[in-house]
């Protein structure tokens, strides 16, 4: 081989070897940097990650959690501010009751643990190259992580509407007026309303940005849906409707007649698609149907039993339930009048079968107590004590079938004046509004404790928003209100469970009877561990027009914030072990005072210390 060729080949070999060496060195350096980077940020969030406006890259979970909880406390202390024109209100993240903490419902709750769990997974899932790619993308382009939260839109809208509705003047549709043989169409009127849904949408954005600036509700011009110029064909259809002398409503074996002299006042213009028609006003029809419903409705009734000593005696037979469906019955009546037909109308009745029938009493297996729950309601005002007694009586003697998921809300049924309950006042926006349901969280808490002590699987339970003296020890409480949250558990004993209730002094006692199967229950620690205790903060003042200017009234005592934990372990006779972790977070809650708007004198102070903060 010529010398020159050898030199060329040798040079190429040296170049190739040098390239390989450089490449290997680069790989080693990159690998080293990668592992060093992983080690540095093993317990920290990657650079470029944000939660709202918070730059959290390089921070630990505990550091970020502390900042998020500080933001939450600021929102809790100040409230959510809404403005319309010259009026402004602060909506509390929790609906406050002036007399009973059971009616305190969270409007806004944050799940910081889930938020941080999702954030911690970024760049840490999948293969190493996928992780590295995601880490680099976050570093270069940044990424804002969504805030996990729950917003009770129904309660928020109720608070906004109760405070701002006086500023609105809704539009009025063209009206139909019939007097004897005379038919007149009154013209429509335009109006202006507040865009509540837009405000709620703005709050969603504020939450994700952690930027809680005041939210404006703007009055918007609104045209009526039905105008006089579009009612011509509808008026022409009146001939067939007014030819009807009466309507007959039936529910076997009953019937009711509605004469034309009555139903003619129900007639109004409505829209079906893009067409204007004449139909019945819904509110007036439902008002007519309500006494009929009272006569037709029969609540479903399971077989119930009373325990006397060790003997079970029947005291209530089962009965299927019937309920007049007001919505569907109205639709059926209205559709018929729109078409101008005079046939009899069978109202819509729904049947609910009893879950436990009298014929099922052969073998219930009710032999002994399998667990009991106790709570104390000392210091409760009269209405609250009354509601606790009514709720307990509704549950006494209920039978829970094998494998049934028991729902406390379903078992209690309707919570209203008709069923013996009394109302309490809650604060929504800057108004106080009466609501039913006070005292029922005492029922929820005691049921939760009885289910735990019986070793039953808990399928739904939520703690209260803040600590309440009635439910100490903290962490062993359960809040309920319709339609959610509920308190649910499963009867997995293989036998029926008899639910018994009684009140002894200030103690509410629920006891479950059935057949023991040898399962062992452990609650550790018992009572639950308490940690992250925080101060209640400065008092909060809510301006209201319902007190004289300058008058102050205390409606809520302060409560320290805290977290609690216990592990619920059930060991079955076959060796199977089931565990559930129960974490409870209670927000710090300051004193709350109502104050008459624009005080002009030294405030008169009215105290109400029915609600006390529990000891820590």
Calpha distance 480→487 (Å, rounded): 7
HEC sequence for 261-325: HHHHHHEEEEEECCEEEEEECHHHHHHHHHHHHHHHCECCECCEEEEECCEEEEEECCECEEEEC
Whether residue 599 is predicted with pLDDT greater than 60 in this model: the reply is no
- The residue written with tokens 């009953």 in the block is 254
Closest CA to 316 of 330, 302, 328, 326: 302
d(CA 552, CA 234): 56
Q: In angstroms, rounded to a whole number, what is the distance separating the alpha carbons of residues 164 and 166?
A: 5
Read off φ and ψ for residue 484, nearest 5 degrees: -160, 155
Q: Phi/psi of residue 368, each to 5°?
A: -160, 165
- Using the structure block, give the residue that is written with the tokens 């301006």: 543
Cα–Cα nearest to 356, from 413, 411, 296: 411
Q: What is the structure's pLDDT at 325?
A: 95
Q: Which of 56-70, 146-160, 295-309 has the lowest mean pLDDT?
A: 295-309
Range with lowest mean pLDDT among 182-191, 451-460, 593-602: 593-602
What share of the chain in percent tops pLDDT 70? 90
Mark 403-424 as b/e (b = at least 16 C-beta within 10 Å).
ebebebbebbeebeeeeebbbb
Residue 311 pLDDT greater than 60, yes or no: no
Please return the burial class of 272, using the count of CB atoms within 10 Å of its CB with bins 0-12, 13-18 and 19+: exposed
Q: Widest CA span of the chain, in angstroms? A: 126
**8-state DSSP, 224:** -
Containing 392, the helix (H) or strand (E) segment is: helix 382-395
595 close to 603: Cβ distance less than 8 angstroms: yes
3-class SS letters over 190-215: CEEEECHHHHHHHHHHHHHHCCCCCE
258-266 contact pairs (CB < 8 A, 24+): 258/288, 263/337, 264/178, 265/178
Q: What's the pLDDT at 128? A: 81
- Rg (alpha carbons) of the chain, rounded to whole number: 33
Q: What string of H, E and C letters represents the secondary structure of 156-182?
A: HHHHHHHHHHHHCECCECCEEEEECCE
The string of pLDDT tens digits covering residues 259-296 is 999 999 999 999 999 899 999 999 999 999 999 998 89
pLDDT, tens digit (0-9, with 9 covering 90-100), for 312-324: 555 566 788 899 9
Q: pLDDT for 48-92, tens place per residue?
A: 999 999 999 999 999 999 999 899 988 988 889 999 988 999 998
**Separation of first and last alpha carbons in the chain:** 94
210 phi and psi, to 5 degrees? 55, 35
Q: Which residue's entry shows tokens 């729109």?
A: 338
CB 94 within 8 A of CB 102: no
Averaged pLDDT, 110-135: 91
Tell me the C-alpha distance between 196 and 532, whole Å: 37
pLDDT of 610 strictly over 60 = no
Handedness of CA 294, 295, 297, 302 (dihedral sign): positive
Could you tell me the sign of the dihedral formed by the alpha carbons of 21, 23, 26, 31, in that order? negative
Counting Cβ atoms within 10 Å, is residue 613 exposed (0-12), middle (13-18) or buried (19+)?
A: middle
381: CB partners within 8 A, 6+ apart: 99, 100, 610
Query: Pick from 291, 350, 344, 352: which is nearest to 324 by CA?
Result: 350
Answer whether residue 602 shows pLDDT above 50.
no
pLDDT of residue 323: 93
Torsion of CA 571, 572, 575, 581, to 10 degrees: -30
Task: Give, as one character, the DSSP assignment of residue 44.
Answer: B
The alpha carbon of residue 375 and the mean position of all alpha carbons in its chain are separated, in whole angstroms, by 24
Q: What is the pLDDT of residue 523?
A: 97
Average pLDDT taken over every residue of the chain: 88
| Contact of 148 with 111, CB cutoff 8 Å | yes
Residues in the chain: 616
Three-state DSSP class for 495?
coil
Over 60: is that where the pLDDT of 8 sits?
no
pLDDT of residue 38: 75
Written as six digits, the tokens of 139 are 């570093």
User: What's the pLDDT band for 361 if we cut at 50, 70, 90?
Assistant: low
* CA distance linking residue 117 with residue 339, whole number of Å: 58
Q: What is the pLDDT of residue 354?
A: 78
pLDDT-based confidence at residue 546 (cuts at 50, 70, 90)? confident
Q: What is the 3-state secondary structure (H, E, C) of 85-122?
A: CCEEEEECCEEEECCCHHHCEECEEECHHHHHHHHHCC
Q: What is the pLDDT of residues 475-486, one digit of tens each?
A: 999 999 888 899
The closest of 194, 207, 268, 186 to 71, measured between CA atoms, is 207
Contact 552, 537 (CB under 8 A): no
pLDDT band at 400 (very low <50, low <70, confident <90, very high): very high
Backbone dihedral region for residue 591 (phi beyond 0: left; psi -120 to 50: alpha; all else: beta): beta
Residue recorded with tokens 């608070």: 159
Structure tokens at 566: 């216990």
Query: Cis omega (within 30 of 0) on the bond before 124?
Result: no
Residue 260, H or E segment: helix 260-263
State whether residue 377 is helix, strand or coil. coil
């Amino acid at each position: 081989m010529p010398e020159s060729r050898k030199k060329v080949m040798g040079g190429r070999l040296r170049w190739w070897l040098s390239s390989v060496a450089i490449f290997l060195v680069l790989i080693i350096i990159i690998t080293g940097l990668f592992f060093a980077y992983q080690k540095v940020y093993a317990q920290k969030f990657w650079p470029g990650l944000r939660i709202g406006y918070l730059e959290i890259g390089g921070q630990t979970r505990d550091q970020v959690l502390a900042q998020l909880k500080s933001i939450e406390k600021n929102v809790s202390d100040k409230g959510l501010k809404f403005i319309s024109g010259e009026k402004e209100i602060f909506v509390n993240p929790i609906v406050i009751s002036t007399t009973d903490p059971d009616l305190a419902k969270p409007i806004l709750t944050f799940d910081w643990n889930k938020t941080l769990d999702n954030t911690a997974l970024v760049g840490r899932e999948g293969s190493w190259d996928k992780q590295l790619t995601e880490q680099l993308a976050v570093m270069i382009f940044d990424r804002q992580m969504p805030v996990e939260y729950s917003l009770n839109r129904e309660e928020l809208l109720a608070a906004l509407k109760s405070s701002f509705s006086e500023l609105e003047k809704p539009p009025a549709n063209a009206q139909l007026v019939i007097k004897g043989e005379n038919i007149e169409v009154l013209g429509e009127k335009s109006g202006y309303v507040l865009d509540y849904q837009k405000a709620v949408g703005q709050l969603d954005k504020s939450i994700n940005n952690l930027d809680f600036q005041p939210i404006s509700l703007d009055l918007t011009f609104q045209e009526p849906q039905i105008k006089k110029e579009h009612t011509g064909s509808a008026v022409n259809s009146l001939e067939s409707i007014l030819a009807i002398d009466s309507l007959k409503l039936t529910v076997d074996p009953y019937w009711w007649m509605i004469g034309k002299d009555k139903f003619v006042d129900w007639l109004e213009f409505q829209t079906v698609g893009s067409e204007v028609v004449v139909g019945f006003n819904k509110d007036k029809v439902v008002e007519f149907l309500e006494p009929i419903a009272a006569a037709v409705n029969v609540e479903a009734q399971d077989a119930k039993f009373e325990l006397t000593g060790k003997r079970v005696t029947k005291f209530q037979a089962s009965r299927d339930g019937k309920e007049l469906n007001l919505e569907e019955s109205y639709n059926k009546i209205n559709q018929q009048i729109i078409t101008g037909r005079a046939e009899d109308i069978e109202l819509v009745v729904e049947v609910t079968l009893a879950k436990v029938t009298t014929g099922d009493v052969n073998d219930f297996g009710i032999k002994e107590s399998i667990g009991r729950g106790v709570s104390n309601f000392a210091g409760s005002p009269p209405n609250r004590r009354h509601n606790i007694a009514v709720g307990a009586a509704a549950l006494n003697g209920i039978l829970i079938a094998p494998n049934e998921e028991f729902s406390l809300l379903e078992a209690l049924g309707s919570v209203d004046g008709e069923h013996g309950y009394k109302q309490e006042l809650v604060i929504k926006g800057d108004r106080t509004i009466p609501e039913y349901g006070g005292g029922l969280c005492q029922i929820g808490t005691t049921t939760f404790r009885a289910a735990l002590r019986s070793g039953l699987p808990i399928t739904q339970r939520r703690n209260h928003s803040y600590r309440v003296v009635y439910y100490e020890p903290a962490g062993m409480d359960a809040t309920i209100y319709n339609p959610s949250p509920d308190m649910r558990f499963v009867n997995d004993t293989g036998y029926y469970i008899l639910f018994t209730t009684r009140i002894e002094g200030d103690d509410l006692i629920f006891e479950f009877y059935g057949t023991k199967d040898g399962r062992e229950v452990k609650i550790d620690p018992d009572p639950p561990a308490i940690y992250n205790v925080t101060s209640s903060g400065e008092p909060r003042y809510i301006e209201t027009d319902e007190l004289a200017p300058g008058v102050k009234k205390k409606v809520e005592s302060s409560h320290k914030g805290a977290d609690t934990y216990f592990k619920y372990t059930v060991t079955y006779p076959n060796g199977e072990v089931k565990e559930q972790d129960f974490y409870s977070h209670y927000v710090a809650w300051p004193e709350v005072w109502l104050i008459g708007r624009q005080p002009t004198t030294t405030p008169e102070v009215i105290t109400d210390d029915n609600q006390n903060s529990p000891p820590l």
